[in-house]
């Protein structure tokens, strides 16, 4: 893993242009819905932005800034959504988000972080392997009910469904839907059952790297024992963590696919077809970790030469290769469904507001961003907001409860199962 000092080039290259707070000009459709950084949008100080966090990081490294609780709260108010990173990289090669994550790791290393909520989560995870501290024995309870989920035994198979904590404990319907889809598409698969532990994403994104790496190793051992080659997820957090974090701390010879990609391939191959129409107008929310932050991480070591030239060439993650087409094409293939787009979409999607642990530590802040995203979603005329992240779902359902009648939220897998 890189240390904060490894990102000096990024800190020193920031020229205060402010692009990290806005969608790139040619991609905007006016002032409304052009802001992209949830914390800058809310607090209106540069300290609350990618640019500001880079300068804080540099001053901490240089000993020009001292820790205090206000500084800790500021660093953890960021949702780690990566919108600053994508927009900065639209004009130059820097690693804004990786610097922010390394800053969090430094706070933890120096005994100044994380927020107490995340420290408690790490303690719970060490005991129970899930973020909620619920009994580990209940993790795969979703697979035992109702009858008909025949393929969910922990047998060796080339494909494994990785459900994740939030789905296993809070949203078992998503796990059951995913298995039904895999069965309908004729894909033999396994689940890890009691061998599945948290993907580690919530620890990684709150700077608790060593604890996150332990989850990685435990999951890799279970996958390798079953001869797995392809990991399927229905959770954006798991998807982005498997692709973006695991290769940083371990050999990772697995292919990772989102369930929307599996459905798209099965539709194209004629192994799956929709038979029921669903009358709805929906808009798709691109979760950060399924969209701009889902590109595979390729380790890089080398030298940064004059004008930022990286030798050897570096595989930059610019956010344009996220999972954008598959969910839209699948949902658009269901008779009766019309898919309409929000202004900020794909790599420029606005975060739900709850990412990076913000929903747990700063719930009211998360709701300000969620309300803005719901405002954008309702402006499309859609009656349904659809996505594929149980964490986004929690944040949006909190927000929609404050706006009765605005629209409803549905998970991607629910619509697919309803249309089969
Ligand atoms: S877009 Fe990049 S260079 Fe410009 S202010 Fe933001 S972090 Fe600095
Ligand atoms: S990661 Fe998201 S919330 Fe954090 S500074 Fe960047 S754009 Fe703002």
* 88 in the same domain as 1: yes
| For residue 247, pLDDT beyond 70 | yes
Total domains in the chain come to 2
Asked, for residue 56, whether it belongs to a domain, the answer is yes
Asked, for residue 384, whether it belongs to a domain, the answer is no
Give the Cα separation of 109 and 176 in Å (integer): 39
Atom of ligand 2 nearest to the CA of 288: 2
Give the Cα separation of 327 and 267 in Å (integer): 12
| For residue 156, pLDDT beyond 90 | no
Q: Is the CB of 188 under 6 A from ligand 1?
A: no
The pLDDT of residue 146 = 47
* 15 in the same domain as 134: no
Give the Cα separation of 185 and 187 in Å (integer): 6
Span from the CA of 83 to the centroid of ligand 2 (angstroms)? 6
Asked, for residue 202, whether it belongs to a domain, the answer is yes
Q: How many CB atoms lie within 10 A of CB 109?
A: 15
| For residue 72, pLDDT beyond 50 | yes
| For residue 304, pLDDT beyond 60 | yes
Give the Cα separation of 66 and 138 in Å (integer): 44
- Tokens coding 314: 């570096």
Range of the domain at 150: 116-269
Atom of ligand 2 nearest to the CA of 79: 3
Give the Cα separation of 4 and 304 in Å (integer): 16
| For residue 144, pLDDT beyond 80 | no
Q: Is the CB of 350 under 6 A from ligand 2?
A: no
Span from the CA of 367 to the centroid of ligand 2 (angstroms)? 16
* 25 in the same domain as 135: no
Give the Cα separation of 329 and 325 in Å (integer): 6
Confidence class for position 147, pLDDT limits 50, 70, 90: very low
- Tokens coding 416: 């697919």
> pLDDT tens for residues 8-67?
999 999 999 999 999 998 888 888 999 999 999 999 999 999 999 999 999 999 999 999
- Tokens coding 264: 């798209």
Start-to-end Cα distance in the chain:
44
* 104 in the same domain as 33: yes
* 164 in the same domain as 51: no
* 246 in the same domain as 156: yes
The pLDDT of residue 29 = 84
* 83 in the same domain as 176: no
* 144 in the same domain as 72: no
Q: Which residue is it, tokens 């192994």?
A: 271
Q: Is the CB of 15 under 6 A from ligand 1?
A: yes
**C-beta separation of 419 from 276 below 8 A:** yes
Query: Which positions ≥6 away from 235 have C-beta within 8 Å?
Result: 163, 164, 166, 167, 174, 388, 389, 390
Q: Which ligand is nearest to the CA of 90?
A: 1
* 130 in the same domain as 99: no
Crossing angle between the packed helical segments 69-77 and 96-109, to the nearest 10 degrees? 140
Q: How does strand 280-284 pair with strand 337-340?
A: parallel
The pLDDT of residue 310 = 95
Asked, for residue 143, whether it belongs to a domain, the answer is yes
Contacts 24+ apart (CB under 8 A), 225-228: 225/156, 225/195, 226/154, 226/155, 226/156, 226/157, 226/160, 226/190, 226/192, 227/156, 227/157, 227/158, 228/157, 228/158, 228/159, 228/160, 228/190, 228/254
Q: Is the CB of 50 under 6 A from ligand 1?
A: yes
Span from the CA of 8 to the centroid of ligand 1 (angstroms)? 14
> pLDDT tens for residues 267-284?
999 999 999 999 999 999
Please tell me the residue having the least CA distance from ligand 1 atom 8: 14
183-192: average pLDDT: 92
Confidence class for position 157, pLDDT limits 50, 70, 90: confident
Q: Is the CB of 288 under 6 A from ligand 2?
A: no
Q: Is the CB of 17 under 6 A from ligand 1?
A: yes
> pLDDT tens for residues 366-402?
999 999 999 999 999 999 999 999 999 999 999 999 9
Span from the CA of 308 to the centroid of ligand 1 (angstroms)? 14
**C-beta separation of 222 from 192 below 8 A:** yes
* 148 in the same domain as 77: no
> pLDDT tens for residues 217-231?
999 999 999 999 999
Q: Is the CB of 88 under 6 A from ligand 2?
A: no
Query: Which positions ≥6 away from 174 have C-beta within 8 Å?
Result: 163, 167, 234, 235, 390, 411, 413, 414
* 96 in the same domain as 80: yes
């Amino acid at each position: 893993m890189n240390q904060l000092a490894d990102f000096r080039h990024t800190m020193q290259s920031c020229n205060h242009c402010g692009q990290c707070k806005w969608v790139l000009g040619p991609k905007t459709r006016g002032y409304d819905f052009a802001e992209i950084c949830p914390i800058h949008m809310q607090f209106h100080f540069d300290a609350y932005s990618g640019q500001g966090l880079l300068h804080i990081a540099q001053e901490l490294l240089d000993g020009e800034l001292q820790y205090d609780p206000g500084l800790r709260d500021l660093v953890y108010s960021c949702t780690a959504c990566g919108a600053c990173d994508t927009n900065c990289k639209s004009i130059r090669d820097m690693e804004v988000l990786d610097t922010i994550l390394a800053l969090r790791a430094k706070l933890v290393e120096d005994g100044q972080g994380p927020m107490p909520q995340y420290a408690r989560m790490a303690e719970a995870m060490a005991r129970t392997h899930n973020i909620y501290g619920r009994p580990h024995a209940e993790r795969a309870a979703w697979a035992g009910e109702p009858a008909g989920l025949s393929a969910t035994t922990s047998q060796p198979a080339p494909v494994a469904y990785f459900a994740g904590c939030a789905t296993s404990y809070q949203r078992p319907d998503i796990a059951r839907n995913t298995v039904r889809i895999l069965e309908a598409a004729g894909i033999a698969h396994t689940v890890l059952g009691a061998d599945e532990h948290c993907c580690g994403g919530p620890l990684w994104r709150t700077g608790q790297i060593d604890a996150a790496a332990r989850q990685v190793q435990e999951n890799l051992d279970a996958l390798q024992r079953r001869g797995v080659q392809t990991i399927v997820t229905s959770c954006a957090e798991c998807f982005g963590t498997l692709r973006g974090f695991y290769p940083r701390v371990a050999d990772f010879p697995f292919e990772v696919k989102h369930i929307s990609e599996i459905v798209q391939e099965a539709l194209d191959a004629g192994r799956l077809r929709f038979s029921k129409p669903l009358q709805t107008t929906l808009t798709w929310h691109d979760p950060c970790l399924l969209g701009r932050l889902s590109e595979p991480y390729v380790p890089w070591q080398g030298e940064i030469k004059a004008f930022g030239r990286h030798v050897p060439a570096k595989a930059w993650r610019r956010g344009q290769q996220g999972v954008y087409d598959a969910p839209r094409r699948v949902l658009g293939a269901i008779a009766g469904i019309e898919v309409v787009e929000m202004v900020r979409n794909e790599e420029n999607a606005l975060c739900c507001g709850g990412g990076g642990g913000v929903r747990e530590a700063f719930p009211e802040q998360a709701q300000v961003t969620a309300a803005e995203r719901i405002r954008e979603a309702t402006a499309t005329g859609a009656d349904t907001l659809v996505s594929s992240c149980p964490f986004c779902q929690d944040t949006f359902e909190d927000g929609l409860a404050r706006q009765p009648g605005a629209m409803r939220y549905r998970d991607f897998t629910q619509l697919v199962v309803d249309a089969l």
